[in-house]
Chains A and B, each alone.
Chain A
Amino acid sequence: MSNAGECPSSLVMERVFPHSPEKLWRALTESPLLAQWMMNNDFEPVVGKKFQFRADPAPNWNGIVDCEVLVVEPMQRLSYNWGVGGSESGLQWKVEWTLTAANGGTHVRMEQSGFRPDQQQAYGGAKWGWQRFFGNLENVLGGVK
């Protein structure tokens, strides 16, 4: 797994940019700017806002990501659901951005985690969940490449 030290049920990417948190926040939350590096979108930084990212269709994917804004804490934290393949039968993740000022720049952390939130709750008290599943994935795979 590529994300050493992290629970492998989530994917984490971090980078320090030599730019202010204010600038990062604009790039993350102003729709036309967001379109320049992520995908076309109708994003608005409003909790509860449903929006889409739209890319060119690919095999097994119609190019649409259905999202809903979950958290907006200016200059600090932004998160949204990330749904692929329709709300009923599709796959659902959460994407969370965390900004921290660092030496005149900004440390940016992106975490893509979880599956459907209802299932996250459902497995809370269950014998084991995704976390353990992914934790065991490498064992389970054994020599499989």
Chain B
Amino acid sequence: MKPANPNSVFRALSDPTRRTIFEELTRQGEQTVHALTRYAGVSQPAVSKHLTILKRARLVRHRRVGRETHYRAQPEALAPMVDWLKLYGAFWRERFDRLEALLERMEP
């Protein structure tokens, strides 16, 4: 599966309720919208909306069983976040090297 755009992953997880839902799914495994609604403390339409955003970021997957939709977490979709930490790590290391070179060139 093609990885989601990193921005959509960050945005999806920028909301505390969505982070709560996502973590609940990683901890408890697959859950129905009803169960998640009880846990999240917001209305079912709100939970469904949050799940749609998480789904778009590929952080969750769903399957239908009868009239219920079951959701489960896709933790590997967090990879863009891990990449982000690596990327910015490299970015700042390079800037520090350039800063060092500049300081050498500058008057004391």
Contacts and interface: CB of A to CB of B under 8 A. Distances in A.
Interface of A: 1-2, 8, 11, 13, 15, 17, 19-20, 23-24, 26-27, 33, 36-38, 60, 85, 89-91, 108, 110, 112, 115-116, 119, 122-123, 126-130, 133, 136-137, 140-142, 144
Given A37-B102, A91-B14, A137-B78, 19 more contacts: A1-B85, A2-B89, A15-B100, A17-B103, A19-B106, A26-B106, A27-B103, A38-B95, A60-B6, A91-B7, A91-B10, A112-B92, A119-B14, A119-B16, A123-B16, A128-B20, A133-B23, A141-B75, A141-B82
Contacts of B63: none
Contacts of B75: 140-142, 144
Interface of B: 5-7, 10-11, 13-16, 19-20, 23, 26, 75-76, 78-79, 81-82, 85-86, 88-89, 92-93, 95-96, 98-103, 106, 108
Contacts of B102: 27, 33, 36-37
B10 A15 contact: no
A33 B6 CA distance: 32
Contact of A140 (B5, B14, B78, B86): B78
B106 A128 contact: no
B23 A33 contact: no
B23 A13 contact: no
B11 to A, nearest CB: 7
A70 to B, nearest CB: 18
Contact of B79 (A8, A110, A116, A144): A144
A53 B8 CA distance: 23
A122 B106 CA distance: 44
B103 A23 contact: yes
Contacts of B99: 17, 27, 37, 108
Given A19-B103, A26-B106, A127 B20 contact: yes
A87 to B, nearest CB: 13
Given A2-B85, A110-B92, A129 B5 contact: no
Contacts of B6: 60
